[in-house]
């Protein structure tokens, strides 16, 4: 079995693959103060809850955008699973050509998402990732990572609103029944949900137009796929006029694909 780990700024996502099928996955908060023993014990407990043991894990691959957690996480994997993990970093085969001015500025999660989106949906593709930040990444049909857009995420935008506006109360981020709110709660919910739907659709439409106008792709706008992932992907994707696919485990799927690309010749998938 393969253990895939996606370390984000807010949460860390784990997935277990057997025969290329996701058979278990879970999340835990990303904590830079967590020790390797704490992390290792939590992983073992999660495996136990899924009816698995450390002996079932033959390979581990991970990507991260939070370098400070890597020391404890790598030590936890080595100590509690007895495996040497593959880290998605320069030198690992991905098949993606990074056209950013400084390729090292592109987060590993964006490359992993690009690998998965191209494999599962084909290119050209725009990937919208609803994480701590909401990111938009443009990938050509030639596997070129062309660049993107980075915006504040929904949750941190909401927290900024609640912190700076003392009379506004914290609310659940959910779609209200009406666009025109009739209470403070529904007014805030409408602004959060529909505001971000509008942001997504506007940015995606502008990106599509620029990709075609600058001849960065060779197909018309209508053939550019838009894939969403991340915590708010289903909520915003259900309302968006531009998002066509929602895949909440896109990064884990990308890690699986990259692991297969980097296996030693003759090594069997487990």
pTM score, two decimals?
A: 0.92
Assess whether 109 carries a catalytic annotation.
Answer: yes
- Give the whole-angstrom CA distance, residue 132 versus residue 128: 12
- The pLDDT score that the predictor gives to residue 149 is 98
Confidence of residue 166 (pLDDT cuts 50, 70, 90): confident
Structure tokens at 165: 């506006």
Beta-bridged to residue 3, according to DSSP, are: 16, 60
Q: Are the C-beta atoms of 131 and 152 separated by less than 8 Å?
A: no
- Domains, the chain: 2-87 (3.30.420.40), 97-251 (3.30.420.40)
- Give the whole-angstrom CA distance, residue 147 versus residue 106: 9
Mean pLDDT (whole number) for 104-132: 96
Which member of 19, 37, 56, 109 is catalytic?
A: 109
pLDDT at residue 217 is higher than 90: yes
Residues 6+ apart with CB under 8 A from 39: 72, 73, 76
> First and final CA of the chain: distance in angstroms?
5
- Give the whole-angstrom CA distance, residue 187 versus residue 167: 13
- The pLDDT score that the predictor gives to residue 25 is 93
- Give the whole-angstrom CA distance, residue 133 versus residue 138: 16
- The DSSP 8-state label assigned to residue 77 in this structure reads I
Mean pLDDT (whole number) for 88-108: 93
- Give the whole-angstrom CA distance, residue 174 versus residue 188: 10
């Amino acid at each position: 079995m393969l253990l895939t780990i996606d370390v984000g700024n807010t949460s860390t996502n784990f997935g277990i693959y057997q025969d290329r099928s996701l058979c278990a996955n879970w999340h835990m908060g990303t904590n830079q103060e967590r020790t390797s023993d704490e992390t290792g014990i939590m992983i073992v407990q999660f495996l136990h809850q899924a009816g698995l043991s450390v002996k079932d894990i033959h390979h581990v691959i991970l990507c991260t955008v939070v370098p400070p957690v890597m020391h404890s996480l790598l030590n936890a994997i080595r100590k509690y699973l007895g495996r040497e993990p593959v880290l998605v970093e320069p030198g690992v085969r991905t098949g993606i050509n990074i056209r950013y001015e400084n390729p090292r500025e592109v987060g590993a999660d964006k490359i992993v998402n690009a690998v998965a989106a191209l494999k599962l949906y084909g290119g050209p593709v725009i990937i919208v990732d609803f994480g701590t930040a909401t990111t938009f990444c443009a990938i050509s049909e030639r596997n070129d990572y062309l660049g993107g857009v980075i915006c504040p995420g929904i949750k941190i935008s909401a927290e900024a609103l609640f912190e700076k506006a003392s009379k506004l109360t914290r609310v659940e981020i959910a779609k209200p029944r009406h666009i025109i709110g009739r209470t403070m709660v529904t007014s805030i919910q409408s602004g959060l949900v529909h505001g971000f739907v509008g942001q997504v659709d506007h940015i995606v439409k502008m990106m599509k137009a620029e990709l075609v106008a600058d001849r960065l792709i060779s197909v018309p706008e209508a053939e550019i796929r838009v894939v969403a992932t991340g915590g708010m992907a289903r909520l915003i994707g259900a309302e968006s006029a531009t998002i066509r696919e929602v895949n909440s485990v896109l990064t884990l799927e990308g890690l699986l694909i990259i692991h297969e690309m980097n296996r030693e010749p003759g090594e069997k998938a487990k």
